[in-house]
Amino acid sequence: MRSKNTTPLIAALSVAAAATLILTGCNEASAAKPAGFTPQQMADGLFVVMSSDRAVYTKQVVNRLQNEEKVIKASEHWQDEKGLPLPAQMFRMGAETVAGKNPGFTYSLLSLWPINKQNAPKTEAEIAGLKFISDNKGTTNYYTEEVLGGQKYYTAVYADVAVSAACVKCHNNHDDSPKTDFALNDVMGGVVIRLPLK
């Protein structure tokens, strides 16, 4: 059970170094071998990959095509409007696809003030983590362990900050947003990464 859960985690983490590995010609097997990551290193590495992907999608796809070249818009109703999914929607679809593959870990973008109620915290650790990162203005990550359904997990929570006026504007004006006074640099929510422990 343990190695079944651990191996895909290591494989996933090695994606973090994928660019380097590809450039240097190392294969995945040699990257996974020395491993010995702590749960925190594993979670931090996964977070670097997912936050980088989201930043690149936001900058190189949404911002470039919508705001600079003005060829297509990003919209919550992207299917009906033949637009681009919002970064948060891309993130959730990615997380759902990962969950469907059952790699042993899960992740999600949650908030104490979610537009999509599916993104509300469900466990005590999620609620405590979101409160902690918000109280600390996103300067410190939150790490804890929790037991769910008899399984022990390492749970990490990373702040999601209103880095641009667009974040604040869209959320404050959204009909389904329970909070309408977000300000620039506020913590709007957080990424929760959950790894199974032995």
Q: Which residues bind ligand HEC (CB under 6 A)?
A: 76, 86, 88-89, 92, 109, 111, 114-116, 119, 160, 162-164, 166-167, 170-171, 188-189
CB of 144 to ligand HEC, least distance (A): 19
CB of 145 to ligand HEC, least distance (A): 23
CB of 157 to ligand HEC, least distance (A): 12
CB of 51 to ligand HEC, least distance (A): 11
| Between 7 and 119, CB nearer to ligand HEC | 119
Q: Using CA atoms, how far apart are residues 78 and 122, in angstroms rounded to an integer? A: 27
Using alpha carbons only, give the angle 93, 128, 53 rounded to the nearest 5 degrees: 30
| Between 127 and 197, CB nearer to ligand HEC | 127
**Chain centroid offset of residue 70 CA:** 27
| Between 43 and 115, CB nearer to ligand HEC | 115
- Hey, how many other C-beta atoms are within 10 angstroms of the C-beta on 46? 23
| Between 86 and 125, CB nearer to ligand HEC | 86
Q: Using CA atoms, how far apart are residues 120 and 111, in angstroms rounded to an integer? A: 6
Both tokens assigned to 44: 């931090």
Residue 170 near residue 113, CB atoms below 8 Å: no
| Between 26 and 163, CB nearer to ligand HEC | 163
- Hey, how many other C-beta atoms are within 10 angstroms of the C-beta on 181? 9
**Chain centroid offset of residue 160 CA:** 9
CB of 183 to ligand HEC, least distance (A): 12
